[in-house]
Structure 1
Amino acid sequence: MSDTIELVDLAVIFPDLEIELKYACADNITGKAIYQQARCLLHKDAITALAKSISIAQLSGLQLVIYDAYRPQQAQAMLWQTCPDPQYVVDVTVGSNHSRGTAIDLTLRDEHGNILDMGAEFDEMHERSHAYHPSVPPAAQRNRLLLNAIMTGGGFVGIPSEWWHFELPQAASYPLLADQFTCFISPGTQHAS
């Protein structure tokens, strides 16, 4: 685990970026706030890719809305406790790419201020959440394809099980990071060491 990697605060470097951290409020799979601080951090290597994705979205009249980026391992343990399904949540003993600062969860907002319909909600741990699933209506699937094009155009890659999750190529080769901010403690949650 590394303590020396410096993460970048997205609210500082991209002041116009919309950030709605889902784990800083109760609108997530746990039903409660996990983060004590609403800090949206990302590894410095991902900043160039995110800047490109922001520009591509703007060319389309769209705006990125960030739901999560760097995630403390303590938070990952709480998510695993809530949903111990490795198809959707990485076991904290393995290490999430969010805990490396190399992954980001997000959606799109249109020029009228509406969040685009993606056919499944963020953190909906179901097959409908998969990037390409036959139960997703065509309009929502087009929105997912648009998000995917914007993010891959910037340099990120998606994962098959979550339409909202993108990460740097070779994200798992980065070290797991020491927790950068505190989380609310959930009874029975083990913190990785």
Structure 2
Amino acid sequence: MTGLAPAVRSLAATAAALCAVIVLTASPVQAGPEPKAPKEFVALRTVDPTIIEEMRYPTGHNFVGEPVDGYRQPLCIVTRPAAQALRRAQRKLLRQGYSLKVYDCYRPQRAVDHFVRWAKDLADEAMKREFYPQVDKSRLFADGYIAEKSGHSRGSTVDLTVVKLPALPTRPHVPGEPLAPCFAPKSQRFPDNSVDMGTGFDCFDTLSHTVDPRIQGEQRANRQLLNGTLSGEDFVNLPEEWWHFTYRPEPFPDTYFDFPVALRSVAGH
């Protein structure tokens, strides 16, 4: 019996240690507080509530086909200088019977990471017919449609369009509804209350290039109206996307933020 005692005690100690490991492993990890935006960020609606907000990434109607990580609320958050410049552009358009409409503004890094994961999943092509019907999904990185960093995460880039007033609301997207190519005639595309820009928002196609020569007539004039109005307020267009503009100089040219898109991220400034 005495010869077995040390072994028994050793076995008991081992079992106790194992139980402690199991308990520690099973304990929930306490998440830290969500990061908040620097004081230079604002909700656009607090600077100009007349600008229409139709945020696409908190919904399932986008190229991913589901709400995107980091978008807690359908809200446009931007740096204050960009918001003030948008307000000045809006004043010009209102006098002409138009309004700006934003699709996306500040974009957290976790959302960009979601885009990257989706792009690497070549089997997920649920939204291909609408957003990238002529592009092989394996080419999205090489062709520049998806990247691991986005200027949106710096807070001064917006995706937007122009709406003729009075504006009727765009109807909600119905999951599973038939999809039409983003470059189809406007009457066949997903309904949008914006003017006809030749393609829908987030159309992965060369027709989305701002000055593509195939875009003529009213569509070209509408792009010029948007581009001319915003360039007059220090926004620079991305030539590959008629909807994409960055305010210059950027307050945070080298910082990619990851606070969630939610009112509480900018509350209390």
The CA RMSD measured in Å over matched residues stands at 2.3
Alignment equivalent of 1:163, drawn from 223, 228, 242? 242
Alignment equivalent of 1:73, drawn from 109, 114, 120? 109
Per the TM alignment, residue 3 of structure 1 is displaced from its structure 2 partner at its CA by 6.3
**Separation of aligned partners in 2, 1:126 and 1:67:** 18
Per the TM alignment, residue 79 of structure 1 is displaced from its structure 2 partner at its CA by 2.2
Is 2:75–2:261's contact at 8 Å kept on the other side of the alignment? no
**Separation of aligned partners in 2, 1:129 and 1:142:** 14
Per the TM alignment, residue 85 of structure 1 is displaced from its structure 2 partner at its CA by 4.4
Identity rate, percent: 31
Is 2:102–2:160's contact at 8 Å kept on the other side of the alignment? yes
Per the TM alignment, residue 51 of structure 1 is displaced from its structure 2 partner at its CA by 1.3
Distance 1:167 1:41, change over 3 A: same
RCO higher in structure (CA 8 A, sep ≥6): 1
Distance 1:134 1:176, change over 3 A: same
In the alignment, structure 1 segments of 5+ residues that lack a partner are 184-193
Q: How does 1:131-142 map to 2 (within 5 A)?
A: 131-142=210-221
**Separation of aligned partners in 2, 1:101 and 1:41:** 7
The yes-or-no answer on 1:109 pairing with 2:163 is yes
**Separation of aligned partners in 2, 1:62 and 1:39:** 21
- Which has the higher mean CA deviation after the structures are superposed, 102-111 or 134-143? 134-143
- Which has the higher mean CA deviation after the structures are superposed, 31-40 or 48-57? 31-40
Secondary structure at 1:42's aligned position in 2? strand
Distance 1:16 1:135, change over 3 A: same
**Which has the greater radius of gyration?**
2
Per the TM alignment, residue 5 of structure 1 is displaced from its structure 2 partner at its CA by 5.0
1:186 is matched with none
The yes-or-no answer on 1:84 pairing with 2:120 is no
Is 2:47–2:84's contact at 8 Å kept on the other side of the alignment? no
Distance 1:165 1:148, change over 3 A: same
1:13-69 Cα shifts (integer Å, max 9, x gaps): 222221000111122111111123222100122122111111111121100011011
1:97-127 Cα shifts (integer Å, max 9, x gaps): 1100010000111024241000011000110
Per the TM alignment, residue 180 of structure 1 is displaced from its structure 2 partner at its CA by 1.8
Per the TM alignment, residue 133 of structure 1 is displaced from its structure 2 partner at its CA by 0.7
**Separation of aligned partners in 2, 1:7 and 1:33:** 23
Distance 1:84 1:11, change over 3 A: same
In the alignment, structure 2 segments of 5+ residues that lack a partner are 1-35, 120-139, 168-192, 263-269
- Structure with more of its chain in strand, by fraction: 1
Distance 1:68 1:57, change over 3 A: same
Length, aligned pairs only:
179
Q: Which residue identity lines up with residue 32 of structure 1 in the other structure?
A: E
**Separation of aligned partners in 2, 1:118 and 1:40:** 22
Alignment equivalent of 2:259, drawn from 167, 180, 183? 180
